[in-house]
Structure 1
Amino acid sequence: MTHHGAGLRKLKVPSQLIDQLKIDYRDAELTGADRAMLDYAVKLTREPHRISRQDIDTLHKAGFSESAILDICQVAAYFNFVNRLADGLGVELENYWQEEDLLPPPE
């Protein structure tokens, strides 16, 4: 999450929400749709064999289209792949990914 915080700041996401997301998204002040999306991504990451039609239905009920659900699935799966590849090869985060180095300049 370290290098994602800086990107969220650039998008003007409130610092309090970023801090909440860093600790545990389940305790963050999120919309129902955002929470459903993150719940799905976590389940896809931790227990992909348990994804069911009910999970897709939950995303539909949260307002996501088929196309958006495909995007959510592809992004989560891609980052799972990349992270597992990096972990499997022992790749470490470079120093330039430290969050303070990525903060946007003061306005």
Structure 2
Amino acid sequence: MAERAEPILTKIASSERRIEWSAAALALTLLIQTGTAVWWAAAMNERMAAVEQKISASASTGETIARLDERTAAMNATIDRIDRRVSVAEERQAARDGFGR
């Protein structure tokens, strides 16, 4: 039994010294893919930061437009009120001058 066990041990010892190129290629491939994924994620992070800056700038523009819209509506209401007063004053003046009858 000792005779049979010895050749097996020598075969194991010789296979341990051998470099398994398939495992090394797999490890290299995984390393390259991981590096590529990290690079891609960093690029996406940079692009997202730029988009967020544009959105934040646009948000303040939207608020400004909303305030201007409210001011415009208030001005229109004031102009309508002034126009009605002027119309009433013109009608009263015309009635006093005798043009209204």
TM-score by length of 1: 0.25
TM-score by length of 2: 0.27
Which protein is bigger by CA-based radius of gyration?
2
More helix by percentage = 2
Q: Which has the higher contact order (CA 8 A, sep 6+)?
A: 1
